[in-house]
């Protein structure tokens, strides 16, 4: 290792031992199940937002067997509000696999952990180092940022070459005798000192030799290869109400909000009004008198690559329409609170209509 690399590892390790104040309940955890749980929750979620979910999950399911035995709906209900529901689906599938096929025992090496559904290189390294002390370096957004800035690396981190470069460097820098502490240190430094905007360079143990700091490159590092395009989607929900029931169905397929419920959906590429809704062919198939439609309002949600606008239209029906295009059930509105909906819909339905 070159002198800057030695400096990096030594300073980071001593900062962690003396100054790092970041305290989170999963830190120093040795149980691979709880480490895995915290990492799954924290993917694409800030620590403070993920914290109550971690506590709720560990209370409801103290062991992987407890989670494996949960009824399908329950983990999704607890997950509400975190988004990216595929994470929850994979988590449940993996818990059941470990419970059934591996006798409730988590795999004990990086390579074996990588075989599990929903566990990528980052999570495998986190579990192997935190639970078992194995010499596997974690590489996540925090690590890309700290390494790119300190070493002045302008290779885009989201390319094959970039991933290889940063992973190899992270592995080289790892304090192999204290991999858990080192991995925790670099992630905490990225989260609390070398933040994306306005990093606290004056409090940083790496400042003396940091290339981005000395060459004024903080705002341009790390480099991403391309701007991510965002797709606009318009979800027009028909709240089909018959007596005290509402028609809902479970989302399936390889799309957002899989396994969560929603009212009758007409998805369009452009926003709909009550007037344009009445001309939509999917709406026409329902054969609902147009004068029964009331526009209730809309809500939006920004995802990584999508911007969802959900609009709500109520139809108070005198008779049930025949619904061909989607399968679902008529549920009593008093039971809606027991059903897992996407958070975007829950907040609207709660505030405006039902719960
Ligand atoms: S000196 Fe500033 S830019 Fe460099 S690693 Fe520290 S916080 Fe990040």
Rounded Cα–Cα distance for residues 244 and 33 (Å): 43
Give the number of C-alpha atoms closer than 13 A to the C-alpha of residue 220, restricted to the C-beta side. Answer: 9
C-beta of 204 in contact with ligand 1 (< 6 A): yes
Question: Which amino acids are annotated catalytic?
Answer: 39
What token pair was written down for 138?
């974690």
Q: Ligand 1 center to residue 201 CA distance, Å?
A: 5
pLDDT digit of tens for each residue in the chain (355 aa)? Answer: 566 999 999 999 999 999 887 777 777 789 999 999 999 998 777 888 899 999 999 999 999 999 999 998 899 989 988 877 788 988 999 999 999 999 999 999 999 999 998 899 999 999 999 999 999 999 999 999 999 999 999 999 999 999 999 999 999 999 999 999 999 999 999 999 999 989 999 999 999 999 999 999 998 999 988 766 788 999 999 999 988 899 999 998 778 888 889 999 999 988 888 888 888 888 888 888 766 788 988 888 888 788 999 999 998 888 888 776 667 899 998 888 888 888 888 877 776 666 4
Which ligand 1 atom sits closest to the C-alpha of 207? 1
Choices 3.30.420.40, 3.30.70.890, 3.90.79.10, 3.40.50.300: CATH for 231-352:
3.90.79.10
CATH 3.40.190.10 fits 3-214, yes or no: no
Beta carbon of 210 within 6 Å of any ligand 1 atom: yes
CATH 1.10.340.30 boundaries in the chain: 3-214
Which of 200, 204, 215 gets mutated to test ligand 1 (max ligand atoms within 8 A of its CB)?
Answer: 204
Q: 30 alpha carbon to ligand 1 midpoint, in Å? A: 30
The CA–CA distances, whole Å, from 47 to 67, 89, 149, 240, 305 equal 22, 21, 23, 38, 22
Q: Whose CA is nearest to atom 1 of ligand 1?
A: 207
Distance, in Å, from the CA atom of 295 to the CA atom of 298, rounded to the nearest integer, reads 9
User: Distance, CA 302 to ligand 1 centroid (Å)?
Assistant: 30
Question: How far is the C-alpha of 80 from the C-alpha of 286, rounded, in Å?
Answer: 30
Q: Is 143 in the pocket of ligand 1 (CB under 6 A)?
A: no
Using N-to-C axis directions, what is the helix angle for 3-18 and 160-173, rounded to 10°?
Answer: 70
Neighbours of 10 (CB within 10 A): 12
How far apart (Å, rounded) are the C-alpha atoms in residues 351 and 355? 8
DSSP-derived pairing of the beta strands 245-250 and 306-317: unpaired
Report whether residue 341 contacts ligand 1, using a CB cutoff of 6 Å.
Answer: no
Task: Please tell me the distance between residue 190's alpha carbon and the centre of ligand 1 in angstroms.
Answer: 9
Ligand 1 atom, smallest distance to 204 CA = 6
Task: List, by residue range, all CATH 3.90.79.10 domains of the chain.
Answer: 231-352
Q: In terms of Cα–Cα distance, which of 307, 160, 268, 238 is closest to 168?
A: 160
**pTM (two decimals):** 0.68
With a pLDDT cut of 90, the percent of the chain lying above it is 58
Residue of 141, 149, 198 best suited for mutating to test ligand 1, as the one with most atoms within 8 Å of CB: 149
Q: Give me ligand 1 centre to Cα 191, in Å.
A: 12
Residue of the nearest CA to atom 2 in ligand 1? 201
Q: What angle do CA 194, 199, 204 make, to 5 degrees?
A: 60
């Amino acid at each position: 290792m070159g002198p800057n690399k030695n400096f990096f590892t030594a300073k980071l390790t001593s900062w962690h031992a003396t100054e790092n104040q970041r305290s989170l309940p999963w830190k120093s955890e040795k149980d691979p199940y709880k480490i895995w749980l915290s990492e799954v929750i924290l993917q694409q979620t800030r620590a403070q937002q993920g914290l109550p979910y971690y506590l709720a999950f560990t209370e409801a399911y103290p062991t992987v067997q407890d989670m494996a035995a949960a009824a399908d709906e329950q983990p999704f209900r607890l997950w509400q509000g975190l988004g990216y529901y595929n994470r929850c689906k994979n988590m449940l599938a993996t818990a059941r696999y470990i419970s059934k096929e591996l006798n409730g025992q988590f795999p004990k090496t990086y390579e074996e952990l990588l075989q599990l559904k929903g566990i990528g290189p980052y999570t495998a390294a986190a579990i192997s180092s935190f639970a078992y002390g194995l010499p596997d370096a974690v590489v996540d957004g925090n690590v890309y940022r700290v390494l790119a800035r300190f070493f002045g690396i302008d290779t885009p981190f989201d390319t094959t070459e970039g991933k290889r470069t940063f992973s190899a460097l992270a592995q080289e820098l790892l304090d192999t005798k204290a991999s858990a502490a080192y991995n925790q240190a670099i992630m905490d430094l990225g989260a609390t000192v070398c933040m994306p905007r306005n990093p606290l360079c004056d409090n940083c143990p790496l400042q003396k030799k940091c290339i981005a700091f000395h060459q004024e490159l903080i705002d341009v590092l790390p480099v991403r290869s391309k701007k991510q395009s965002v797709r606009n989607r318009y979800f027009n929900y028909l709240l089909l109400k018959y007596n005290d029931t509402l028609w809902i169905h479970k989302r399936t397929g390889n799309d957002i909000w899989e396994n969560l419920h929603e009212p009758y959906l007409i998805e369009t590429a452009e926003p709909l009004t009550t007037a344009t809704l009445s001309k939509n062919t999917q709406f026409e198939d329902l054969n609902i008198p147009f004068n029964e439609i009331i526009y209730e309002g809309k809500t939006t949600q920004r995802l990584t690559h999508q911007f969802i606008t959900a609009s709500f239209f109520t139809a108070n029906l005198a008779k049930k329409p025949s619904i061909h295009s989607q399968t679902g059930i008529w549920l009593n509105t008093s039971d809606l609170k027991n059903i897992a909906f996407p958070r975007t819909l829950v907040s609207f339905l709660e505030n405006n209509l039902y719960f």
